[in-house]
Amino acid sequence: MTKSRKDAAWVKATLERLAQEILAATANESALVVVGIRTRGSVLAERLAASLQTAGREIAIGHVDVTLYRDDINNGGGRKAIGASDMPYNPEGKTIILVDDVLSTGRTVRAAITEIMDFGRPARILLLAFIDRGGRELPIQPDFTGETLKVAVDKKLQLRVKEIDGEDAVEEE
Amino acid sequence: MKWTRKHLLGLEDLSAEEIMHVLETADSFKEVSTRSIKKVPALRGKTVVTLFFEPSTRTTTSFGLAARRLSADVISVGGQMSSSVKGETLVDTARNVEAMGVDIMVVRHQAAGAPLLLSQKLDCSVVNAGDGAHEHPTQGLLDIYTIREMCGKLEGLKVGIVGDITHSRVARSDIWGLQKLGAEVFVTGPATLVPKDIDKLGATVIDDMDTLVETCDVINMLRIQFERQEEAYLPSAREYSRLFGLNAKRMQKAKPNVIIMHPGPINRGLEISPEVADGNKSVILRQVTNGLAVRMAVLYLVAGSE
């Protein structure tokens, strides 16, 4: 059973609001690097970068696939395909906006931070969680949050995006 | 798909889908070698041993670096160093090494089937790095990877393999792997060095080198392996070079977008002339670069099989 939690209009409005918050919080910084966590975080990062550019900011985009940095990488189950990480800009000294679609345990974000550090030493990393469903297992908190949603532990909460899933929505299974 | 194999013994028993999975995984690993920190933590805490009973620089270096870039610990054991010279059997040597807590053993041996035997006797993963004249699967995979990268496809391509087909494990891995992905394979070489029944593997024999050069999109020049020639298969090196060597004159007959490959080490001026080996159609060094990404992919995949 899937249950719709948010619709396309909400996704659009929330991304716009987050873009405004980022502009305000980084007003004094020249260049930002928006880094998406593959796969749906990457889609959000692309959209977010586009609206930040429209607002006149200089934006670089990167993507990380954190598979190789996960702490459960050798827990079995076979190896699935991994996407290439793509960090065309050296993050040295830059401010990075790290974009996660659904934040829960914080383990994915931990892996992403470790991976970004392997490309260079950023000035700082700010975390954007489009949805925060709680359940943290690591001391990681977002700097920008789309919305905090309460979800039972055994339920899956998924952000759907039209680039991959054909629609923008948040669904609970 | 999900990769579930514990060992990589050859390309003969892999499916087309499994080969593509390795190539696509290698795509992701290629990027790692371009970072300022050329390392990912994927195999942290794992131990890889390269156990080589035949000399090799390129393949041991490539496997060693691949394992290190995945953060594994690596030990190299050479056949000369090991107790095999004191009479210990292959299985005993391997079991002793494994007893020190090894997760992946990369094995090269002069006997075909040695890696298969070890995969049955050991608990760790076994990767074949060349067994006799049987298979050299990671070389086959890096050849296929390079062809796909340069030509943009494999389906319908004509790939020629030239030289000592009989003694070449590279030729066998290439023939098996390429055909699974839809390429057509042609071979040529001295009649004494082309097995009579090679057509049973699906390869087409072409008698003369000029025809092969005119026909193929990819030409893979095998090394003439003097160390394996116990009998006199070749009348003379000069005659071999004249009949089957690839030089600038012969290259004029080739297709405009042909690529020239060689598994190395090359005998300059014998099977391939320096101007061709170093020329703009040559992808020999690209093969070496890609070999690293392909071996990272293989080690990563077999390590996740439990």
Whether chain A has a CB inside 8 Å of the CB on B42: the answer is yes
User: Which range among A71-75, B16-20, B49-53 shows the weakest confidence by mean pLDDT?
Assistant: A71-75
Whether chain B has a CB inside 8 Å of the CB on A150: the answer is no
- Mean pLDDT, chain B, as a whole number? 93
Q: What is the pLDDT, as a whole number, of residue B143? A: 98
DSSP secondary structure, A69-118, as one string: G-TTTTSSS-BPP-PPPB--S--TT-EEEEEEEEESSSHHHHHHHHHHHT
Q: What is the pLDDT, as a whole number, of residue A95? A: 94
- Please, what is the angle between helix B16-32 and helix B137-151, to 10°? 80
- Cβ of A119 and B31 within 8 Å? no
The model's pLDDT over B149-206, given as tens digits with 9 standing for 90+, comes to 999 999 999 999 999 999 999 999 999 999 999 999 999 999 999 998 999 999 999 9
Whether chain B has a CB inside 8 Å of the CB on A72: the answer is no
pTM for this model (two decimals): 0.91
The model's pLDDT over A120-152, given as tens digits with 9 standing for 90+, comes to 899 999 999 999 999 999 999 999 999 999 999
Residue A163 parent element (H or E): helix A162-165
Alpha-carbon span A95 to A28, nearest angstrom:
11
A to B CB pairs, distance under 8 Å: 62
Residue corresponding to tokens 């990380």: A64
Identify all chain A residues contacting B293, using CB atoms and an 8 Å cutoff: none
Which pLDDT band holds residue B82 (cuts at 50, 70, 90)?
low
The class that CATH gives domain B16-135+289-303 is alpha beta
Q: What is the pLDDT, as a whole number, of residue A83? A: 85
User: Which range among A143-147, B5-9, B90-94, B128-132 shows the weakest confidence by mean pLDDT?
Assistant: B90-94
**Hey, where are the domains in chain B?**
16-135+289-303, 137-287
The mean pLDDT value for B300-306 works out to: 89
Whether chain A has a CB inside 8 Å of the CB on B41: the answer is yes
Copy the structure tokens of residue A58. Answer: 């200089």
Residue of chain A with shortest Cα separation from B69: A68
The model's pLDDT over A28-69, given as tens digits with 9 standing for 90+, comes to 887 899 999 999 999 999 999 999 999 888 999 999 999 999
Whether chain B has a CB inside 8 Å of the CB on A120: the answer is yes
Give how far A157 is from chain B: nearest CA, Å.
24
Residue of chain A with shortest Cα separation from B300: A79
Whether chain B has a CB inside 8 Å of the CB on A68: the answer is yes
- Cβ of A74 and B21 within 8 Å? no
Report the residue of B1, B5, B40 to disrupt the A interface, i.e. the one with the largest count of A CBs within 10 Å. Answer: B40
- Cβ of B28 and A76 within 8 Å? no
Residue of chain A with shortest Cα separation from B4: A78
Give how far B303 is from chain A: nearest CA, Å.
8
List CB contacts of B78: < 8 A, sequence separation 6 or more. Answer: B52, B53
Identify all chain A residues contacting B32, using CB atoms and an 8 Å cutoff: 68
Residue B208: pLDDT above 60?
A: yes
Residue of chain B with shortest Cα separation from A67: B42
Q: Which one has a higher pLDDT value, A78 or B258?
A: B258
Which CATH topology does A3-22+31-71+88-165 take?
Answer: Rossmann fold (3.40.50)
Give how far A144 is from chain B: nearest CA, Å.
28
Which pLDDT band holds residue A162 (cuts at 50, 70, 90)?
very high
Give how far B42 is from chain A: nearest CA, Å.
5
Copy the structure tokens of residue B10. Answer: 């050859």
Domains B16-135+289-303 and B137-287 belong to one CATH topology? yes
Looking at the partner chain, which of B3, B30, B42 has a beta carbon nearest the beta carbon of A73? B42
Phi then psi dihedrals of residue A95, to 5 deg = -95, 130
Which CATH topology does B137-287 take?
Answer: Rossmann fold (3.40.50)
The model's pLDDT over A95-128, given as tens digits with 9 standing for 90+, comes to 999 999 999 999 999 999 999 998 989 999 999 9
The mean pLDDT value for B83-98 works out to: 85
* Terminal-residue alpha carbon distance, chain A: 6
Burial class (CB in 10 A: 0-12, 13-18, 19+), B289: middle
Q: What is the pLDDT, as a whole number, of residue B232? A: 66
Q: What is the pLDDT, as a whole number, of residue B306? A: 63
Report the residue of B4, B27, B35, B39 to disrupt the A interface, i.e. the one with the largest count of A CBs within 10 Å. Answer: B35
- Cβ of B36 and A80 within 8 Å? no
The mean pLDDT value for A146-169 works out to: 94
Give how far A90 is from chain B: nearest CA, Å.
9
Copy the structure tokens of residue B131. Answer: 């067994």
Residue A89: pLDDT above 90?
A: no
Which pLDDT band holds residue B228 (cuts at 50, 70, 90)?
low
Q: What is the pLDDT, as a whole number, of residue A96? A: 96
> CA Rg, chain A, in Å?
16
Phi then psi dihedrals of residue B118, to 5 deg = -65, -35
Q: What is the pLDDT, as a whole number, of residue A15? A: 97
Report the residue of A73, A79, A86 to disrupt the B interface, i.e. the one with the largest count of B CBs within 10 Å. Answer: A79
Q: What is the pLDDT, as a whole number, of residue A41? A: 97
Which long-range contacts link A16-24 to residues 24+ away (Cβ below 8 Å)?
A16/A51, A18/A48, A18/A128, A18/A130, A18/A144, A18/A146, A19/A48, A19/A51, A19/A52, A19/A55, A21/A144, A22/A48, A22/A52, A22/A97, A22/A126, A22/A128, A22/A144, A23/A52, A23/A55, A23/A57
The model's pLDDT over B230-255, given as tens digits with 9 standing for 90+, comes to 566 777 888 899 999 999 999 999 99
Residue B303: pLDDT above 90?
A: yes
Residue B282 parent element (H or E): none
